[in-house]
Chains A and B, each alone.
Chain A
Amino acid sequence: MKKKSEKTGLVFFPAFDWAISPTHPEREERLLYTRDQLFEEGIMDLPQIVQYQPRLAELKDIARVHFCVPDIEAQAGEAHRIAAGGALVLADAFMTGKIKNGFALIRPPGHHAMRVVHGNRGFCNINNEPVMVEYLRQKYGLQRIAIVDTDVHHGDGTQDIYWHDPDVLFISFHQDGRTLYPGSGFADETGGPLAQGTTLNVPLPPGTTDEGILFVLDNLVLPVLEEFQPEIVVNSAGQDNHYTDPLANMSFSARGYARLNEKLAPDIAVLEGGYSVETALPYVNMGIIMAMAGIDYSNLYEPDYKEEYSKENPARLKQLAETVQRLNYVFSRRQELVAAARKKADSFFRKSRYISYDTDQIHEQQTETLINCPDCPGYLLIESEAVGARQGDAKIFCVSIPLRSCRRCRREALDLYAKTRRQPYEPYHYLYLQDRPADVYLQYDYITKKERAY
């Protein structure tokens, strides 16, 4: 199916007319200096690079991933749809053999956006990588996918979306959640009961350098990928690990990022965070592009960079070695762990939790029920209630049928949706169905009694 191409695809969409607020870190000029650096360097003129124009993602592309309250339009503005569409353009170019790999340099970012979206969390509404992954699964029939999140913040949104999905390997390394937003991503978060070991989190101690991060890459990420054999590797390429980032405390350099990308060799990288707009982003983005395109990056450095910034201290290395060993163990035993969980549990697994939206000041209470099925990863039910959202308080119920669901589970889930819809009183504001096997997505409004299909 795939022909060999030597080109690296680039979508550069700085969204020069979109900001959360005028002085917010996620604002218009976030990629301005990156533009200056890329344009002045003339890297887009090189034969190795081909530039693509993003498109507007369809509402259906978003419905495959998210349950948006009150509807998709309210959460996904034009900027979000173009950012996600940028990733989709590269996905198509990659799958049709037009590029060997691609980098979507887009904003706004997305990796803190979870399945249920009541508002903006951690600068994110729509999660660009899952939108691309579900598109790849539906359009090109891909099954096994790996997402490696290298943003300094835990990719809790992406983790939430793939928590119960054993076919998507999600690895995130990030600054320790005890010292940074969103306060999650600890080593013991290793996936839902029927998808254990396909979520891996490496909390990094503050101050970790190039050497430390590359150690995690060499000793955990690369061997795990080798074993998992994904059909495509996606990098959630945050750039806030940089030693100058104002929101975090890590010590990664532009050359470290280039080295990481060279080793990881992602098929598609998607920009996430990174708020050192002047001192890091111009150089880091250049480094990632160079590494992906196979261009010599030995002359790339920040004006104040010194070689010793890259060295790691022994105490941190020792700590990282322990985490890496523990996660390798979990990953190697993942099938046994899933089998044991299946056997031990009743007909379902249930979990309740509280989710906070920092940007929009929303409080969400969520109960998740996963059906324990011997033949498939099980379908998922979510009940969610949010207060403080712009659109008013809302209570919703969602039914999600995974792509690899068995026929019995799918039948049950569809019946449950139909039954819940028929309820005479109004138990919820909205009811959602995500029927991935049929690629059909429904939203029912109990007040207007209208159902919308995507």
Chain B
Amino acid sequence: MLIGIDVGGTFTDGVLYHEGSILNTVKKPTVARKLQESIIAVLEELLRGVKEKEISRVVLSTTLVTNLLAAGQEEKTALLLIPGPGLNLRRMNFFPSAYFLKGAIDFRGRITEPLDREEIVEIAGQIKAAGFRTAAVVGKFSCRNSSHERQAAEILQERIPDLRVVKGFQVSGQLNFLRRAVTAYYTAATMDKWKGFATDITSALRKRGLVCPIDILKADGGTMPLEASLSHPCETVFSGPAASVMGAFALTRDNRTSVVVDIGGTTSDLALILQGQPLHASKGAILGGRYSSIRSFAVRSIALGGDSAIRWTGKDIELGPDRLGPAACFGGPAATPTDAVNYLEGGILGSLSSSEEALGKVSRQAGMAVKELAESVVAMVTGRLAAEIKEMFKAWEQEPAYRIWEIINKQKVKADRIVGIGAAAGAFVPALAGRLNCESFVHAYSPVANALGAAVARPTVSLLLHVDTENGTYHLDREGLAGEVSYHFRLEDAKKLALQQLQRIAGLRGIGQYADRYEFFREEQFNIIRGWTTCGKLFDIGIQIAPGVIDEFKGVQA
């Protein structure tokens, strides 16, 4: 039996899944200051009448790190940058409290300017005096050569033995110094609190008699063992939308193109599954208002939901962005889009007379019939959603390509269906699908698809390998593993090396059974030429276990 728990901003959802059936679902309000309690409360209900031994996996999707960052509760962290030539970050106020170090590495991983030991020793003194307990050290091109980051961190720790230091190469191997700096900074700043949460929840679950693996859902839709998350807390941000997308993915499971529409109380999240593959954001998740190197789904949030308040401005009808309470048909104080649907559909959702009464107040002000108002509101909601969906497809089509075949072969992709997720989805998705001229898909378990998505998401691992045969070196992101290669290394050798490393890491994480589901998402080969002769090759290999569902998942009976 599998358990998935998604801690959302308003509700915490849980499901208990076993062999094609959802045995139990739970929905409870989230208590923001006591996430552990919310999780345990949901877990208690799910476990009612079930033997703890039978639970083979628990997956948590939690907003803890997102909340910490939103509330500015991250730990005070010293950021040390080794920027080398380029943007003048000192003057750009990129991070107000950053320290800048001498030293530079170029795109081939060559040191073009040495570190200055004295300078680092002096900065260590300042950091100590300022009382920092954590620090992040990030150098430009550290993904090609991490020696400067390592040396600087070593000097800091010599001087301040209990300083926790996160190095840039540990958080991302992708080219993007700014995003790597943002990620390393917030990793260092949230590590301690995340560790506290992880320890608490582990002991609570163990105390409750659960002996199974505990996994965490990441922003990219994959899971990782709770243990592995200790050094990568930021990968847990935006796991809520990831849970919804994985839920939609699990409920549909085919190669068609879907728009996932998660309609909440005051916001709606939109995401794309293109020909069976959830679409990731091209720029990475936003942390503290800046792009990071955390891979996340491309999710578009709009301030419009099933509970948005309907008002007459004197000229037009206005929807939200605020919520006065639940829909009138569920006992709320004012008319909402949910009431509009409920009225038009003859009370399928809740009290017809409450909806009619609430809508009537607004329609009298507007001088229109209740039916006319309700129809306008539904048209407005579906119109806004449809426009945003079109924008999402357009944005995807316009994402930069760097090869001729990418431009020639980028076909126009059109939505086959709209997949509704969340409690209010059933009310709007059919009308939206009609408007976009595609199928509507609302599953009986759509309201808890997020928790289901968490329960059945499989682990993901992604690796980047950079090989430079002229220098005779390779560099692997994650752990900053580096080594030597011969001049005669070929593309096939590089791919083999990347695969071996993927298998090794999967083994270490106890997810070896998924190691054969790898795919190469990047295979680049370039000649290094001096004058008119080739003097080496560069390879960039990307290999991953992509987001998907675990083997135990056999679909869900409606």
Taking CB atoms, residues of chain B closer than 8 Å to A300 are: 85-87
Q: Are B86 and A41 in contact (CB under 8 A)?
A: yes
Mask of A1-38 contacts with B, CB within 8 angstroms, 1/0: 00000000000111111100011000111001101110
Give the distance to chain B from A311, nearest Cβ to Cβ, in Å: 20
Check B527 against A41 for contact (C-beta < 8 Å). Answer: no
Interface flags for A73-104 (1: CB within 8 Å of B; 0: not) read 00000110010000000000000000000000
Report which of A32, A36, A43 forms a contact with B87, defined as CB distance below 8 A. A43
Does A162 touch B at the CB level, under 8 Å?
A: no
* Selected contact of A42 from candidates B179, B397, B401, B527, CB within 8 Å: B179
How far is A78 from B33 in the complex, measured between Cα atoms in Å?
58
Nearest chain A residue, comparing its CB with the CB of B107: A36
Residues of B within 8 A of A23 (CB): 527, 529, 532-534
B176 is contacted by which of A39, A78, A79, A302 (Cβ under 8 Å)? Answer: A39
**Residues of chain A contacted by B104 (CB below 8 angstroms):** 303
Q: With the chains together, A372 CA to B19 CA distance in Å?
A: 88
Chain A residues numbered 51-79 whose CB sits less than 8 Å from any CB in chain B = 51-56, 78-79
Check B404 against A15 for contact (C-beta < 8 Å). Answer: yes
Q: Contacting A28 at CB < 8 Å: which of B83, B107, B407, B526? A: B526
Q: How many residues of A contact B (CB 8 A)?
A: 47
CB-CB under 8 A from A43, the residues of chain B are 87
Q: Given contacts A32-B526, A41-B87, A303-B85, is CB(A296)–CB(B92) below 8 Å?
A: yes
Q: Beta-carbon contacts of A296-336 to B below 8 Å, as 1s and 0s? A: 11111111000000000000000000000000000000000
Contact of A82 among B88, B106, B407 (CB under 8 A): B407
> With a CB–CB cut-off of 8 A, which chain A residues contact B141?
36, 40
The answer, yes or no, to whether A346 is at the interface (CB within 8 Å) is no
Contact partners of A246 in chain B: CB under 8 A: 531
Min CB–CB distance B450 → chain A (angstroms): 29
Specify which chain B residues have a CB less than 8 angstroms from the CB of A55 in the assembled complex: 407
Q: How far is the CB of B412 from chain A (nearest CB, A)?
A: 13
Cα–Cα distance between A295 and B526 once the two chains are bound (Å) = 31
Q: Tell me whether B402 and A35 are in contact (CB under 8 A).
A: yes
Given contacts A23-B534, A32-B538, A298-B88, contact A53 B403 (CB under 8 A): no
A-B contact count (CB 8 A): 116
B178 near A: Cβ within 8 Å?
Answer: yes
Per the bound structure, the CA–CA distance linking A27 and B529 in Å amounts to: 10
B398 near A53 (CB under 8 angstroms)?
A: yes
Inter-subunit contact A296/B403 (CB<8 Å)? no
CA distance A18 to B176 in the complex (A): 25
Interface positions, chain B 267-323, Cβ under 8 Å from A, are: 283, 291
- B87 x A53 contact (CB < 8 A): no
Chain A: minimal CB distance from B89 (Å): 8
CA separation between A297 and B86, bound complex, in Å?
7
Closest to A23 in B: B532
Q: How far is the CA of A23 from the CA of B537 in the complex (A)?
A: 12
**Is B524 part of the contact surface with A, judged by Cβ < 8 Å?**
yes
Within 8 A of A (CB), among B512-547: 524, 526-529, 531-534, 538
Contact in complex: B87, A295 (CB < 8 Å) = yes
Q: Is the CB of B175 within 8 A of A45?
A: no
Question: In whole Å, how far is B249's beta carbon from the nearest beta carbon of chain A?
Answer: 27
B343 at the interface (CB under 8 A from A): no
Asked whether, in the complex, the Cβ of B175 is within 8 Å of the Cβ of A40, the reply is yes
Q: Which 3 A-B pairs have the closest CB atoms?
A: A42-B178, A303-B112, A36-B107
Q: Which residues of B contact A (CB under 8 A)?
A: 83, 85-92, 104, 106-108, 112-113, 140-141, 143, 175-179, 283, 291, 397-405, 407-408, 524, 526-529, 531-534, 538
Residues of A at the B interface (CB closer than 8 Å) are 12-18, 22-23, 27-29, 32-33, 35-37, 39-43, 45, 51-56, 78-79, 82, 246, 278, 282-283, 286, 290, 295-303
25 A-B pairs with CB atoms under 8 Å apart are A13-B402, A16-B403, A23-B527, A23-B534, A33-B108, A39-B176, A41-B87, A41-B177, A42-B176, A42-B178, A42-B291, A51-B400, A53-B401, A53-B407, A54-B407, A55-B407, A82-B404, A290-B87, A296-B88, A296-B92, A299-B85, A299-B87, A299-B89, A299-B90, A300-B87
